[in-house]
Amino acid sequence: MGQVLVTGAAGFIGAHVCQALLARGEQVIGLDNFNSYYDPALKEARLAALTGNNRPGAFTMHRLDLASTDDLLALFAANPGIDRVAHLGAQAGVRWSLEAPFAYTSTNVTGHLGILEGVRRSEGRIGHTVYASTSSVYGSRTDGAFRETDRTDTPASLYAATKKAGEVMSSTYADLYNLRLTGLRFFTVYGPWGRPDMAYWLFTDAILKGRPIRLFNEGRMQRDFTYIDDIVAGILAALDNPPVQGGHRVYNIGNSQPEPLLDMVSILEDLIGMPARRELLPMQPGDVPSTFADISAIQGDFGWEPTTDLKTGLGHFVRWWKAYFG
């Protein structure tokens, strides 16, 4: 068995994927730049949880920026045992892309291209690369389930545009260089160790501290909330089942049950035992009113099914949040 390179290994999804790979006996090489988009202390805590409970030598971490192309390619060259890549590192967040656009092109375009080049230069040693895309590529839609065959050429944010660029580059590289690549369009991932910029985290924090929660579009939003354990199971299923040589596939990976945002607020109020103070605001630029994953492709190819309902998943998150913050 070779090694798996996981980018974004100190991030929310990346850390969970590293833990799952280590639990099944894999050798994992992690990469993360520990940037300050949100408090790096949370990333350090995820890393400590990873390194504190695993066999010696099974996991190594490299503090490296994806956009530092020379350093990234040197990492590939210095680790010829890498035979699979889970490329989960990215600059996330729709709203911040309005304020810091070059951070998104640097990581999500230049950094993604660096991963593709590293895989190409491995001369066939790397048998499969799975990378993170996003449901945001579908743009502003309210007309039912999003299917992989739908048009995705009108994204509503720069973040979405950079992730779509990653899909297009991946398709090109698979064809040009005979690579095996799989993209996963994540739908609103949530759970323990999550990202502090996400609504469920912000709402939990605000309710517990007596601050108002900010409801954009006056709360008239729907999201296909997908629990982290289900996402990890889908990533591993994809990683273990590469396409044909020279193949590039894209899958939705979501709960396929969009929930009104206000229902999530009500569940959090019940779990926390406190009412939320609600501040109704207009729609934010770049945001979308609804997301809804058609998951028939990933179900059919891998037998993957989400198993965690929103109340159960939020219950896990609230218990983790209280334990983490005391």
CA 121 to each of CA 56, 88, 239: distance values in angstroms, whole numbers, following the listed order: 29, 20, 20
Locate 259 and state its tokens: 């929930």
Q: Nearest 10 degrees: CA dihedral of 151, 156, 160, 162? A: 100
Task: Return left, alpha or beta for 35; rule: phi > 0 is left, psi -120 to 50 is alpha, else beta.
Answer: beta
CA–CA separation, 53 vs 230, rounded Å?
22
3-state helix, strand, coil in the chain (%, to 5): 45, 20, 35
Is residue 317 within 8 A of residue 204, CB to CB? The reply is: yes
Is residue 19 within 8 A of residue 50, CB to CB? The reply is: yes
Locate 24 and state its tokens: 């099944």
Q: Which residues contact 70 (CB under 8 A, 6 or more apart)?
A: none
DSSP state of 191: S
CA–CA separation, 152 vs 133, rounded Å?
12
Q: Which of 107, 116, 121 is nearest to 77 (CA)?
A: 121
Q: Nearest 10 degrees: CA dihedral of 8, 14, 301, 187? A: -90
β partners of residue 132: 184
CA–CA separation, 103 vs 92, rounded Å?
10
Beta strands per DSSP E along 74-146:
82-87, 128-134
DSSP state of 97: G
Query: Residues with catalytic annotation?
Result: 159
